[in-house]
């Protein structure tokens, strides 16, 4: 690991080389906080999309992450199970505190 890390710093920080495809995918995987096996299980067209969108650049990844979060919120807003859960949390909630003496 130490040799790999020193090589990374030398090639990309000191020499200023451009990232290859493997290095770009590594940076994307680390940004997404995925393990190697999780990332490898993704389909190839998803990885190609990540590369086309240049997600190894931090600003591009932040935009992508925001888009994914908004899409998830829209999907959950229309899901009847999620609505039922939100209603339950609002009205009942887990372990609601009451001060009524019975």
The predicted structure's pLDDT at residue 96: 61
The neighbour count for residue 34, using CB atoms within 10 Å, is 14
Tokens of residue 41, six digits: 């299980």
Domain residue spans of the chain: 19-79
What is the pLDDT at residue 95? 64
Give tens-digit pLDDT for 26-50. Answer: 888 888 888 888 888 888 898 888 8
Residue 99 confidence (pLDDT) above 70: no
pTM: 0.64
How many Cβ atoms sit within 10 Å of the Cβ of residue 56?
19
Predicted pLDDT at 66: 92
pLDDT tens-place string over residues 46-95: 888 888 888 888 888 899 899 989 988 888 887 788 888 888 777 776 66
């Amino acid at each position: 690991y130490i040799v790999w890390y020193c090589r990374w710093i030398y090639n990309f920080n000191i020499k200023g080389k451009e990232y290859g495809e493997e290095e770009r995918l590594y940076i994307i995987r680390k940004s997404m906080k995925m393990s190697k096996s999780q990332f490898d299980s993704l389909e190839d067209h998803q990885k190609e999309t990540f590369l086309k969108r240049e997600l190894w650049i931090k600003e591009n990844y932040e935009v992508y992450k925001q888009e994914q979060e908004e899409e998830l919120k829209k999907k959950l807003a229309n899901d009847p199970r999620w609505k039922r859960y939100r209603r339950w949390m609002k009205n009942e909630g887990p372990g609601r505190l009451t001060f009524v003496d019975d």
